[in-house]
Each structure stands twice: as structure tokens, then as C-alpha cells.
Amino acid sequence: MLTTQIKRFEYKYIVNKKDLPKILFFLSRFAKPDLSYADPITKSYVVHSIYFDTPTLKYYFEKIYGIMKRKKFRLRQYHTKTHGKSNIFAEIKYKHGAVITKERIQLEANTIKQQSDMYSIDNAFRHLYIQDTLRPTTLISYTRQPLIGIQHPHIRITIDRDLQSCIPNDFTFTQTNSTLLTDQAIIELKYHTYLPTWVNMFIKIFSLQQTSYSKYCAGLQHIRPTLTK
């Protein structure tokens, strides 16, 4: 199994859904739908992620307490015309400030059906799973609309909406029905090198405020409301 690594900067912004038509109209001059992943009709795809954590929720509390260097472990499934339902990825996402490094390995269909199957994953993924005694804690689902820069393809903007969470049913990627951020969407700005002028103009025109919002933390708090926030 081949491991791929991605390193980039990432910033998040929360916007009202009612503003999305104006936002998309503005962005259409500079970015286009990333149809290598998205459905050609809806221009979007559905993401299901099973997040893992230690018995003491180490990853959760590292985020809550603002630890600069931290990581997340997840299994992710993309409902896209490219990958289809049957393919999933194991991902380790490292964060150091605004810099994101992600290691990802594609798994064969139906590879992970139960906890013991996690020991069959290669290298760093299996090592971290065993070392930190990881267990599935929450299933997060949302619809993602991806865009890439027309003249600046190193710029990727994603719009996530209809965020949902639930307690994972073992290792089954099933549609959840407990909705978060009902009237809002999350815009993520991702890039490798520099930001062109139009991105800064976009942020200024729509008065976007950077947020540290975490889908994992919000989803876990939603299903376990007594957790420290």
C-alpha cells in the first residue's frame, strides 16, 4: 500500500449559508470546481470520517487546550465519482500552527470491518494505532464543494455544509442524522506557497474571520455534551 504525504497551510472560516451564492459568484472569477473529485452535476461530494482517540481523549484535549503540535487519526470515505463508496483512506493529520502535514494510505474495499483489522494497516498507521491505544470516538459527515484556482492551481478552497455527527457503529460508514451548524458552512483555504491578491480581496470583501473550529471536537461535544469545551 502506497503512503502519500501532503504539506500545506490551512485556514478556516465560518459563514452563513445564505451568503454562499454571493461567495460562489465572487469565487467563480478566480476558481473552478475541482471535478477530479466532485460530482459533475452537484459539484460536490460527501465525506464520512471516523475519528479515533486515546482512552483519555488525548487528541481532543490537545486541541481544546491549544497545543501547537498535535495530530489526528481517522478513517475517511469519499462518496465521489472517482472513489465511490467502497474505498476508504487511513489518514494521520499533523498540525503545527497553520502548517498541516497529512499522511494518507488507501485501503482495499472492506479492509476494515472490525477493530482487529486495524492491525493489518502498514507502517506508521499501525504503529500509532497500537502505541496510543486508539479507538473510534465519533463519525463526522458533511457535504464538501471543492474549488481550485484557475490561474493559481496551488490554491484549494473547500466549502463544507450539512455537518453531522454520531457515535460510530463499529467501522461502518453510515449516514448520520444529528446536524451541527444548521445555518452555517465552513470555508477552508488551503495552499502550498503564496496567496494571490484575489484571495486576500475575497477575505476582506466578505469580512472573513479566521476560526479554530474543529469538526472532530464539535462532533464529539455534540454526542458527549459533558465534555470540557
**CB burial string 179-210: b at 16+ within 10 A, e below:** ebbeebbbbbbbbeeebeebbeebbeebebee
CA-to-CA distance for 70 and 60, rounded, in angstroms? 10
> Which residue range forms the structural domain that includes residue 110?
3-223
Q: What is the CATH number of the domain that holds 126?
A: 3.20.100.30
The torsion angle over the Cα atoms of residues 128, 216, 175 and 84, rounded to 10 degrees, is -50
Residue type, 151: Q
Query: What does the pLDDT read at residue 88?
Result: 81
- pTM for the whole structure: 0.89
**Number of neighbours of residue 111 by Cβ within 10 angstroms:** 18
Residue 228 domain-assigned (yes or no): no
Residue 199 domain-assigned (yes or no): yes
**CB burial string 115-154: b at 16+ within 10 A, e below:** eeebeebeeebeebbeebebebbbbbbbbbbbbbbeebee
Query: What does the pLDDT read at residue 175?
Result: 61
Each of the 229 residues of the chain gets a pLDDT tens digit; together they read: 556 777 899 999 999 999 999 999 999 999 999 988 788 888 999 999 999 999 999 999 999 999 999 999 999 888 776 555 556 888 999 999 889 999 988 887 666 666 656 656 777 788 888 899 999 999 999 999 999 999 999 999 999 999 999 888 766 666 666 788 889 999 999 998 889 999 999 999 999 999 999 999 999 999 998 887 7
Query: What does the pLDDT read at residue 106?
Result: 83
CA-to-CA distance for 121 and 24, rounded, in angstroms? 39
Residue 131 domain-assigned (yes or no): yes
Residue type, 122: D
Q: Provide the domain count of the chain.
A: 1
Q: State which H helix or E strand residue 70 sits in.
A: strand 69-79
SS3 163: strand
User: In which residue are the cell numbers 481550485 written?
Assistant: 148
SS3 54: coil
Residue 187 domain-assigned (yes or no): yes
Residue 91 domain-assigned (yes or no): yes
Nearest to 134 by CA among 112, 155, 105: 112
Question: How many Å is the Cα radius of gyration of the chain?
Answer: 17
Q: Dig out the grid coordinates for 176 from the structure.
A: 448520520
